[in-house]
């Protein structure tokens, strides 16, 4: 079951984003939900790791897919199922990249995970913003060239980043919206 996805678009080189985004041991430097993270081998399918969430217990994950420089997928076991995190990196224009983190849940606890999905969305949104700051601090951000010549109307201001999360529409979302307005169904 598709739970939600978050995305951000910012100025950076795709290869540099990939390098930082897949450096598991350094996730706690910019991922607001991570206290500790480690990988028990090279960044490739079949390799397992462990991460401790801030304020929560830690747990294992396994890399299931790697499309080098473009996409990677991890699975985290939960009672009676698993949570799948799909990470996508897309160049959108020269020096700009779109990153997407999609969350899916399988098994008996899918409905319960919907209860913590809002916090997960907030954490992922904050983490993607922190990823952009991390890249900027490392000097990987591409700056647009300054406009030259007389009468140029080209802006030299950096383009704004875009971030956000989407939840699939469906009956459960309709019920949540109705309850938040004080109505019952």
More confident position, 46 or 148: 46
pLDDT above 90 (res 145):
no
For 132-149, the three-class secondary structure string (H helix, E strand, C coil) is HHHHHHCCCCCCCCCCCC
Neighbours of 87 (CB within 10 A): 18
| pLDDT value for 167 | 54
For 99, counting Cβ atoms within 10 Å of its Cβ (0-12 exposed, 13-18 middle, 19+ buried), the class is buried
Look at residues 63, 64, 59 and name the one whose alpha carbon lies nearest to residue 79: 59
pLDDT above 80 (res 5):
yes
Q: What is the pLDDT of residues 48-99, one digit of tens each?
A: 999 998 888 889 999 999 999 999 999 999 988 999 999 999 999 888 999 9
Neighbours of 160 (CB within 10 A): 9
User: Is residue 81 classed as helix, strand or coil in its secondary structure?
Assistant: strand
* Structural domains of the chain in order of their starting residue, each with its CATH number: 2-143+161-177 (3.30.530.20)
CA distance 112 to 122: 17
| pLDDT value for 140 | 52
CA distance 113 to 117: 6
CA distance 94 to 107: 41
- Order the strands of the 34-39 sheet from edge to edge: 34-39, 48-53, 58-67, 71-78, 81-93, 96-107, 2-11, 162-166
| pLDDT value for 49 | 97
| pLDDT value for 165 | 63
CA distance 50 to 30: 17
- Find tokens 């420089």 and name the residue: 69
């Amino acid at each position: 079951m598709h739970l939600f996805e978050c995305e951000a678009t910012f100025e950076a080189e795709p290869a540099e984003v990939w390098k930082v985004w897949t450096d598991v041991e350094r996730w706690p430097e910019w991922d607001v939900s991570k206290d500790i993270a480690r990988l028990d081998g090279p960044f490739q399918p079949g390799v397992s790791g462990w991460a401790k969430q801030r304020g929560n217990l830690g747990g294992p994950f396994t890399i299931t897919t790697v499309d080098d420089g473009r996409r990677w997928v991890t699975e985290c076991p939960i009672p009676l199922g698993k949570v799948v995190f799909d990470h996508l990196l897309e160049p959108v224009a020269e020096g700009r990249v779109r990153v997407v983190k999609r969350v899916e849940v399988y098994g008996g606890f899918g409905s319960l995970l919907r209860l913590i999905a809002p916090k997960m969305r907030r954490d992922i949104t904050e983490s993607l913003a922190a990823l952009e700051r991390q890249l900027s601090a490392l000097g990987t951000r591409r700056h647009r060239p300054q406009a030259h010549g007389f009468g140029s109307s080209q802006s030299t201001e950096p383009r704004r980043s875009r971030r956000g999360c989407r939840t699939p529409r469906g009956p459960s979302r309709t019920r949540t919206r109705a309850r938040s307005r004080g109505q019952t169904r």
